[in-house]
A and B are shown apart, each in its own frame.
Chain A
């Protein structure tokens, strides 16, 4: 019996020691310099990339009418408010210029006075004309002196000048009168087109300055998106390219559109290119002006090249490249990269060919001496 116990005890000793040794070896191999680096490998594909350009912008009205008064005056009547739909020519408000009617009356009186002055000048012209003619006839018979004849001729010339002056003066007064009448007509703020009032900057009774915007009017059927794209990669952006638009208020409902205009002026501060994107079909309900929108423009397909995921690209000693596997031993291969798409695929212009095995992910930085172990994934992916 003691022998049996002794053997059992020896077994327990060896078992414990083996367990401890196994645990220690596991620790040495799973961490520290002897541990293998886990890697995920992918294959270089030969494919045609479909690059896209992503930008953000805000909803804007294509046409924005700022309706302002030409005069300093008081807004006595304002007929429209924000949200009202108005027809072209409709009177939106009246700006009352305090002394305009009095000025018109004064001008009308001036016109009358000028007419009277014109009549007077005409009468004088007729009289002096006849006198001059009569004296000219009497001169050969020496009934009047030459001096008197010259005097009558002079009076006639003066009367003609006065006549021209009075005519001009009347025309001026009439024009000024018409000008004031036009000004009175201009006190009506009229809608230049049919549309929607989106802003009313003053309230009834307030004084407005000449040129101050009173109403802002847009055509709600003509909305577009003022988009900003990163200048890098925007070379292939062109008008009429199809786009996908996601409005912030309608996140789950993408809309389609097209590039309506490429702006010539880029934003030098933010280094962005600007473009206008129209909806193919206006969203219903219409988005509010200024709402944020994400725009993805589908660019033309590129030529077929080797393509890898951007996660595989590393920089070693200032050189871009990827880690390849040579019989389970990693080595760094410099590459030249081209364009990329929004899914993170990058064209490889030189350095790789389709079918090569590239290290996509690694649990630690790789070196040429690293021992690696291929796994399917390093982190849970949905």
Chain B
């Protein structure tokens, strides 16, 4: 049996392929937009995964440390570690700032990690190159998205740090690359004012006779020391023992330490449900519109393709071809177009995804849903074309 669809496609192969490629690029954009949305949500979740924590202990009545500022004394972790069920607790600080190097500057989430060794909460989970921080000062591990290379020297506030390791997918909830530095340095960096500000502050305090009393010259030094030191951290990351019940341990901490504690589920709710909610919904809305527009364009293309050969269909009818054959031809062509479009779209989305400045996550499930949606749309769209084709009068084949 002759494949009418195959013959027809072969007849206008160039036109068919170019239509498929055009359709594919549109599908590619839709898949990418889905990837952008997924990437945005994944950025938030990957931050929590990277923390390797079961519980986050933060300042009371705050949504810290990611969604709101949170400050805790840096010895809080001792009290936290004493709560039954806690395997270990580590201090952590987060500070989003511009980090500069000889090759330029980048916005990064500078994370202060406690000196508790690789595998601890807050530490980079895995590396692409180099090693983990081994000195307790002036070394850094950076995400590869920051553009820094091994051996680069970066400036954070007053000090220079040597990049000793590179990670991948260690980003903040807004997609900024993370840079891990020792906690003591991070505490200093977080509260270190500029030298000018410090000098002015010293002058201001030294002119206050209460602090600069000639009868007690030691007071001035003590006050200045106090002003320029920082013993605060942003959160304590807690890993629990295997048999511990996270909700119970969190409740104990809230009750006895009077601190705010979030478990993984709550933290995810804060990050995905509050922090990136609006921007994610924005992208989602755009994705929905794009999907609808794509579907409409697919329908138009198939309808136009069919209508373009309406005379040939009339001839087919004239020579006595069954309607079934004509329906089959149109559906086959629509599906072939859909498959070519989908393949081109998937290839295009995969090829251009890495060039996006923020993470684009192409999920297999989205791809399968996309394929089903494209094929379904093609079949649906071909119904309109079929309706038009079946209604054509065979006499049109010879008429004007």
Residues of B contacting A270 with CB < 8 Å? 184
B-contact 0/1 string along A284-326, CB 8 Å cutoff: 0000000000100000000000000111011101101000000
Q: A270-B184, A342-B135, A344-B164 are in contact. Are A382 and B151 (CB under 8 A)?
A: yes
Residues of A contacting B128 with CB < 8 Å? 361, 363, 378-379
Interface status of B173 (Cβ within 8 A of chain A): no
Interface status of B64 (Cβ within 8 A of chain A): no
Contact of A27 among B17, B134, B231, B350 (CB under 8 A): B350
Which of A30-38, A97-105, A136-144, A184-192 lies at the interface? A30-38
Which of A16-24, A109-117, A145-153, A168-176 lies at the interface? A16-24
Cβ-defined contact, B347 with A311, below 8 A: no
Interface status of A232 (Cβ within 8 A of chain B): yes
Q: A310-B118, A311-B118, A313-B118 are in contact. Are A318 and B134 (CB under 8 A)?
A: no
For the complex formed, measure the closest distance between the CB of B91 and the CB atoms of chain A, giving whole angstroms.
11
The CA-CA distance from A340 to B133 in the complex, in Å, is: 11
Cβ-defined contact, B119 with A315, below 8 A: yes
Contact of B150 among A54, A317, A337, A381 (CB under 8 A): A381
The CA-CA distance from A61 to B315 in the complex, in Å, is: 106
Interface status of B168 (Cβ within 8 A of chain A): yes
Cβ-defined contact, A311 with B149, below 8 A: no
Interface status of A56 (Cβ within 8 A of chain B): yes
* B363 nearest CB neighbor, chain A only: A32
Which of under 10, 10 to 19, 20 to 34, or 35 or more describes the interface residues of A? 35 or more
Interface status of A230 (Cβ within 8 A of chain B): yes
Cβ-defined contact, B10 with A342, below 8 A: no
Point out residues on B near A: beta carbons under 8 Å.
10, 13, 17, 52, 75, 87, 115, 117-120, 125-132, 134-138, 144, 149-151, 164-166, 168, 184, 214-215, 217, 231, 239, 241-242, 340, 343-344, 346-347, 350, 362, 364, 367
Interface residues of A in 71-126 (CB under 8 A from B): none
Cβ-defined contact, A361 with B13, below 8 A: no
Cβ-defined contact, B127 with A31, below 8 A: no
Q: A12-B13, A31-B362, A310-B118 are in contact. Are A209 and B214 (CB under 8 A)?
A: yes
Cβ-defined contact, A340 with B125, below 8 A: no
Residues of B contacting A178 with CB < 8 Å? none
For the complex formed, measure the closest distance between the CB of B17 and the CB atoms of chain A, giving whole angstroms.
6
Residues of B contacting A349 with CB < 8 Å? none
Cβ-defined contact, B13 with A13, below 8 A: yes
Contact of A54 among B120, B136, B151 (CB under 8 A): B136
The CA-CA distance from A334 to B396 in the complex, in Å, is: 79
The CA-CA distance from A201 to B220 in the complex, in Å, is: 13
* A230 nearest CB neighbor, chain B only: B136
Cβ-defined contact, A342 with B134, below 8 A: yes
Contact of B115 among A13, A232, A318, A381 (CB under 8 A): A232
Contact of A209 among B13, B75, B215 (CB under 8 A): B215
Point out residues on A near B: beta carbons under 8 Å.
9-10, 12-13, 16, 20-21, 23-24, 26-27, 30-33, 54-56, 201, 209, 212-213, 230, 232, 269-270, 294, 309-311, 313-315, 317-318, 320, 337, 340-344, 346, 360-363, 365, 377-382
User: Can you identify 26 A-B contacts, CB atoms within 8 angstroms?
Assistant: A12-B13, A13-B13, A16-B17, A21-B343, A32-B362, A54-B137, A55-B137, A232-B115, A269-B231, A294-B137, A310-B131, A311-B165, A313-B117, A317-B242, A320-B119, A343-B134, A344-B131, A344-B164, A361-B127, A361-B129, A378-B129, A379-B129, A379-B144, A380-B129, A381-B149, A382-B150
For the complex formed, measure the closest distance between the CB of A275 and the CB atoms of chain B, giving whole angstroms.
15
The CA-CA distance from A315 to B184 in the complex, in Å, is: 24
Cβ-defined contact, A20 with B136, below 8 A: no
Cβ-defined contact, A309 with B131, below 8 A: yes
Residues of B contacting A315 with CB < 8 Å? 52, 119-120
Interface SS of chain B: loop
* B24 nearest CB neighbor, chain A only: A20
Residues of A contacting B164 with CB < 8 Å? 344
* B344 nearest CB neighbor, chain A only: A20
Residues of A contacting B126 with CB < 8 Å? 311, 314, 361-362, 365
The CA-CA distance from A12 to B346 in the complex, in Å, is: 22
For the complex formed, measure the closest distance between the CB of B100 and the CB atoms of chain A, giving whole angstroms.
18
Contact of B10 among A13, A55, A346, A381 (CB under 8 A): A13
Contact of B119 among A21, A26, A313 (CB under 8 A): A313
Q: A9-B13, A320-B119 are in contact. Are A365 and B125 (CB under 8 A)?
A: yes
Residues of B contacting A201 with CB < 8 Å? 217
* A309 nearest CB neighbor, chain B only: B131
Residues of B contacting A26 with CB < 8 Å? 347
Cβ-defined contact, B125 with A24, below 8 A: no
The CA-CA distance from A12 to B134 in the complex, in Å, is: 59
* B350 nearest CB neighbor, chain A only: A27
Cβ-defined contact, B135 with A343, below 8 A: no
Cβ-defined contact, A24 with B134, below 8 A: no
For the complex formed, measure the closest distance between the CB of A20 and the CB atoms of chain B, giving whole angstroms.
5
Residues of B contacting A54 with CB < 8 Å? 135-137
Cβ-defined contact, A314 with B134, below 8 A: no
Cβ-defined contact, B214 with A344, below 8 A: no
Cβ-defined contact, B132 with A310, below 8 A: yes
* B49 nearest CB neighbor, chain A only: A365
Residues of A contacting B343 with CB < 8 Å? 20-21, 23-24
Residues of A contacting B132 with CB < 8 Å? 310-311, 313, 344
Known contacts A294-B138, A342-B134, then 10 further A-B pairs from the complex at CB < 8 Å, ordered by chain A residue: A213-B217, A310-B132, A310-B134, A311-B132, A340-B117, A341-B134, A344-B132, A344-B134, A344-B164, A365-B126
* B158 nearest CB neighbor, chain A only: A292
The CA-CA distance from A310 to B347 in the complex, in Å, is: 38
A-B interface, 6 closest residue pairs, ranked by CB to CB distance from nearest: A344-B131, A315-B119, A379-B129, A54-B135, A378-B128, A313-B118
The CA-CA distance from A283 to B134 in the complex, in Å, is: 28
Residues of B contacting A16 with CB < 8 Å? 13, 17
For the complex formed, measure the closest distance between the CB of A53 and the CB atoms of chain B, giving whole angstroms.
9
Cβ-defined contact, B13 with A311, below 8 A: no
The CA-CA distance from A212 to B216 in the complex, in Å, is: 9
Residues of B contacting A31 with CB < 8 Å? 350, 362
The CA-CA distance from A354 to B346 in the complex, in Å, is: 45
Contact of A230 among B17, B87, B115, B129 (CB under 8 A): B115
The CA-CA distance from A24 to B351 in the complex, in Å, is: 11
Find the residue from B17, B118, B165, B241 having the highest chain A CB count within 10 A: B118
For the complex formed, measure the closest distance between the CB of A287 and the CB atoms of chain B, giving whole angstroms.
18
Cβ-defined contact, B350 with A56, below 8 A: no
The CA-CA distance from A13 to B149 in the complex, in Å, is: 46
